[in-house]
Structure 1
């Protein structure tokens, strides 16, 4: 610039200054985006997997967990920084996971698995969403939501569970596990199922929170009808499945779908928007083979994609798909420790 005329020199300085401001803005945006990447705050949790082929790597191990081992696993999860667990089911295949007057009980080493995990969660600072299913054939969710006899059994089970276990400080709320596949909009029977469940939950456990996790995220229509349905849904949190593990959505599509959901939820101004991020892949055929950990690179991209749009990130699931490398209560696929290490390294979990 030594030979530039004065006017040109001043102009060049202005350009450099503007460029410096622009660079600062870009750096600030990058920093903001990085800080906006949310940690994993919650996970689904189970005693036995509902789909037997998918639970190949952990079902037998969990069946033989003692009460002390369940306590250690809850402690491990808490130390990972996870503060919420969603119990997938309190019954499956016609048997319960707690001593019930309504159904026979699964034979497990722990005499009362539900009491065991809630007591452990009390000690280790974890909040549980307790399931109100599955009663009947879990592969037929429409029947489970519409059948009067099953609805009656579900309500009785909620009352039984509330009477026995709601005094636990870790009993944070209810999870309604019968899923709906959104085809543009929610089905009316799903709205009825959710709202009837919440009405009962409010009656027997005042103040308890409520959660659902629908699929069909990519099919949602951004219209007034969907907003009105969100306004009608009496539920505190909706954790939409990102559907990447089940191979319905590509990672690069996810941000767009959750951005759209964010706009719809803001318009409805009712339920909080959460994400249910699938950190698994299938060992073979989708839905007919074992769940195994997805690659850390894929999972990290999934978490980054939804972070700007949701209040909290939950994963499906810690059980079987993640294990701390130093764990004394290993349950799951051998690659689960590697995924844990990489997520901890990136700050999504605590090391």
Structure 2
């Protein structure tokens, strides 16, 4: 049975400047009301999860936060409380939010962010402050750990340590909160007994594996084998849910070095068909920039984003008949 898209990554500024060409300049000046509208659009497609990519961003020469903190300066942007706007709209629609625990080191320095005591100190301070400011919201569902790792073919020990330490800290504030990670390298992962032992060791509630179609590492016809093996490993370990992080974008030019634009619904349909038999939920990377509801007052992204919204809405309506 085909599964609909049930969630999306969400952001106030795309970390990779080249990729965010079509929406970063516009989103920068969104009002709080426009951010609420963007969440309402997501709800209009029946999605029930939002994963916030970044609660702050750090580059080599500048940094900004999207909430009030003394860790980094508040972003120069139109919204006064973008996270608050997101949370209010999610409350109205019943959407659950995974709050971002990053980026509190330079976002490209993944290993450094996982291992640096200074980064962890800033991140834990941010998590405490985010929970203090937004934790009473019924939409606050858990934490997303955005410093991603590759599985070549297993997790590095330092990544498991990072996940377990952040998970323990997040759950110390509320043990009900779910911990989400989204690793890459799915086409290299070896889902054998060694991997099962890693799943058992890792204190993580949900793993949303990237299908890596958008970054041109895999094709839709290849991914069923990857996710079938993962399904068996997760069932054997019995410790974490198996979700998909499905890429709904294309690159205009070189991967990671050019603008993102929406993929065709025909390709996305093939991706969904490949993933549906094996995963519990399908989340996308991402609604912002790739989808726009016709007539929205919060348009951001490539012009084809309206086409993708309409095409997916028609697909979803047909599925729900």
Q: TM-score range by the shorter chain?
A: over 0.9
So what's the TM-score if we normalise by structure 1? Answer: 0.88
Question: Alpha-carbon deviation of 1:317?
Answer: 0.2
Aligned-residue offset at 1:327: 2.1
Moved over 3 A (4+): none
The residue number in structure 2 matching 1:285 is 254
Q: What is the aligned partner in structure 1 of residue 287 from structure 2?
A: 318
SS of alignment partner, residue 302 of structure 2: coil
Is 2:236 aligned against 1:267?
Answer: yes
**SS, match of residue 221 in structure 2:** helix
SS in structure 2 of the partner of residue 54 of structure 1: coil
C-alpha distance in 1, partners of 2:246/2:306?
A: 18
1:243 aligns with 212
Structure with the higher helix share, 1 or 2: 1
Q: Which residue of 2 aligns with 1:204?
A: 173
- CA positional deviation for 1:138: 0.9
Residue in structure 2 matched with residue 217 of structure 1 by the alignment: 186
Are residues 1:297 and 2:266 paired? yes
Cα offsets for 1:302-340 (capped at 9, x unmatched): 011000000000000000001122323211110111112
Secondary structure of the corresponding residue to residue 316 of structure 2: coil
Deviation, structure 1 residue 205: 2.3
Shift of 1:344: 1.6
Q: In angstroms, what is the RMSD of aligned CA positions?
A: 1.4
- TM-aligned CA deviation for residue 196 of structure 1: 0.5
Deviation at 1:128, TM superposition (A): 0.6
The Cα shift of 1:198 comes to 0.7
Deviations 1:24-73 (A, max 9, x none): xxxxxxxxxxxx10000000000000000100101111111111111111
Unpaired runs of 5+ residues, structure 1, are 1-35
- What secondary structure, in the 3-state scheme, does the structure 2 residue paired with 1:347 have? helix
| Pairs within 5 Å for 1:19-168 | 36-93=1-58, 94-168=63-137
Which residue matches 1:184?
Answer: 153
Pick one of 137, 159, 172 that aligns with 2:141.
172
- The CA distance in 1 between the partners of 2:204 and 2:127, in whole Å, is 16
Q: How many residues are paired up?
A: 316
Cα distance in 1 for residues equivalent to 2:94 and 2:275: 26
Give distance in 1, aligned partners of 2:298 and 2:71. Answer: 31
In structure 1, distance between residues paired with 2:5 and 2:220: 17
User: Does the 8 A contact of 1:185 with 1:221 survive in 2?
Assistant: yes
Task: Give the distance between the partners of 1:313 and 1:65, measured in 2 at CA.
Answer: 28
CA distance in 2, matches of 1:346, 1:203: 42
Q: How many angstroms apart in 1 are the aligned matches of 2:280 and 2:93?
A: 23
Comparing 233-242 and 324-333, the one that deviates more: 324-333
Greater gyration radius: 1
Secondary structure class of the residue paired with 1:340: helix
Task: Tell me the SS of whatever aligns to 1:128.
Answer: strand
Alpha-carbon contact 1:166-1:205 (below 8 Å) kept: no
Quick check: 117-126 or 140-149, which moved more?
117-126
Equivalent residues of 1:78, 1:126 under 8 A apart: yes
In structure 2, the gaps of 5 or more residues are none
Aligned counterparts of 2:206 and 2:249: Cα–Cα separation in 1: 23
Aligned to 2:162: 193
Deviation at 1:124, TM superposition (A): 2.3
